[in-house]
Amino acid sequence: YVAIAGNAGNLPSQNYLINYAQSAVLTPSDYGFPHNGVAAEADPNVETVAIADLDFANLAQVRELGSVRPLHDRRPDLYDLKPRIRVELTHVE
Protein backbone atom coordinates (compact mmCIF):
# COMPACT_ATOMS: atom_id res chain seq x y z
CA TYR A 1 0.00 0.00 0.00
CA VAL A 2 1.07 3.58 -0.63
CA ALA A 3 -0.32 6.63 1.18
CA ILE A 4 0.17 9.98 -0.53
CA ALA A 5 -0.57 12.98 1.67
CA GLY A 6 -0.76 16.41 0.12
CA ASN A 7 -0.83 19.76 1.90
CA ALA A 8 -3.99 21.59 0.83
CA GLY A 9 -5.42 24.87 2.12
CA ASN A 10 -3.90 27.77 4.02
CA LEU A 11 -1.28 27.51 6.73
CA PRO A 12 -2.04 29.43 9.95
CA SER A 13 1.06 31.62 9.62
CA GLN A 14 1.38 34.59 7.27
CA ASN A 15 3.25 33.00 4.40
CA TYR A 16 0.99 34.18 1.56
CA LEU A 17 1.00 30.71 0.04
CA ILE A 18 -2.03 28.66 -0.86
CA ASN A 19 -1.36 24.95 -1.25
CA TYR A 20 -3.06 22.71 -3.80
CA ALA A 21 -2.90 18.92 -3.48
CA GLN A 22 -4.80 15.64 -3.44
CA SER A 23 -4.32 12.76 -1.00
CA ALA A 24 -4.91 9.07 -1.66
CA VAL A 25 -4.29 5.53 -0.45
CA LEU A 26 -3.16 3.30 -3.32
CA THR A 27 -3.29 -0.49 -3.59
CA PRO A 28 -1.41 -2.99 -5.75
CA SER A 29 -2.70 -3.30 -9.30
CA ASP A 30 -3.65 -6.96 -9.07
CA TYR A 31 -6.65 -9.25 -8.62
CA GLY A 32 -8.42 -8.87 -5.29
CA PHE A 33 -7.86 -5.12 -5.16
CA PRO A 34 -9.79 -2.23 -6.73
CA HIS A 35 -9.44 -2.21 -10.52
CA ASN A 36 -8.11 1.36 -10.54
CA GLY A 37 -5.63 0.72 -7.68
CA VAL A 38 -7.17 3.35 -5.37
CA ALA A 39 -8.45 2.35 -1.91
CA ALA A 40 -9.35 5.91 -0.85
CA GLU A 41 -9.09 9.27 -2.54
CA ALA A 42 -9.68 12.77 -1.19
CA ASP A 43 -11.23 15.53 -3.23
CA PRO A 44 -8.57 17.70 -4.86
CA ASN A 45 -7.66 20.98 -3.15
CA VAL A 46 -9.95 20.36 -0.15
CA GLU A 47 -8.85 20.11 3.49
CA THR A 48 -10.06 16.59 4.30
CA VAL A 49 -8.94 13.12 5.37
CA ALA A 50 -8.73 9.97 3.22
CA ILE A 51 -9.60 6.80 5.18
CA ALA A 52 -9.19 3.25 3.86
CA ASP A 53 -9.46 -0.26 5.31
CA LEU A 54 -6.25 -2.17 4.52
CA ASP A 55 -6.23 -5.98 4.36
CA PHE A 56 -2.65 -7.05 5.09
CA ALA A 57 -3.53 -10.76 4.85
CA ASN A 58 -4.72 -10.19 1.28
CA LEU A 59 -1.54 -8.24 0.56
CA ALA A 60 0.63 -11.12 1.83
CA GLN A 61 -1.33 -13.60 -0.30
CA VAL A 62 -0.97 -11.47 -3.43
CA ARG A 63 2.78 -11.15 -2.82
CA GLU A 64 3.07 -14.95 -2.95
CA LEU A 65 0.42 -15.90 -5.52
CA GLY A 66 -0.42 -12.73 -7.45
CA SER A 67 0.13 -12.08 -11.14
CA VAL A 68 2.82 -9.48 -10.39
CA ARG A 69 5.50 -10.69 -7.97
CA PRO A 70 8.40 -8.23 -7.96
CA LEU A 71 9.89 -9.71 -4.77
CA HIS A 72 10.38 -13.04 -6.58
CA ASP A 73 11.90 -11.39 -9.65
CA ARG A 74 14.60 -9.45 -7.80
CA ARG A 75 18.20 -9.80 -8.94
CA PRO A 76 20.32 -9.10 -5.85
CA ASP A 77 23.43 -10.06 -7.82
CA LEU A 78 23.02 -6.83 -9.80
CA TYR A 79 23.28 -4.58 -6.75
CA ASP A 80 25.42 -6.70 -4.43
CA LEU A 81 28.63 -4.96 -3.35
CA LYS A 82 31.69 -7.12 -3.91
CA PRO A 83 35.33 -6.02 -3.92
CA ARG A 84 37.22 -6.25 -7.21
CA ILE A 85 40.43 -7.18 -5.41
CA ARG A 86 40.54 -9.60 -2.51
CA VAL A 87 41.27 -7.75 0.72
CA GLU A 88 43.27 -9.59 3.36
CA LEU A 89 42.35 -8.76 6.94
CA THR A 90 44.98 -8.90 9.67
CA HIS A 91 44.07 -8.69 13.35
CA VAL A 92 46.68 -7.19 15.67
CA GLU A 93 46.43 -7.53 19.43
Q: Are 5 and 42 in contact (CB under 8 A)?
A: no
Work out the average pLDDT over 44-63: 90
**Mean pLDDT, residues 14-22 taken together:** 74
pLDDT at res. 16? 62
Whether residue 64 lies inside any domain: the answer is: yes
Mean pLDDT, rounded, of the chain: 85
Average pLDDT over residues 44-70: 87
**Rounded distance between C-alpha atoms, residue 72 and residue 74, angstroms:** 6
Q: What is the mean pLDDT of residues 22-51?
A: 90
- For residue 74, the enclosing domain spans 2-79
Greater confidence (11 vs 38) lies with 38
Q: Examine residue 89 and state whether it is found in any structural domain, yes or no.
A: no
| pLDDT at 77 exceeding the cut of 90 | no
| Domains in the chain, number | 1
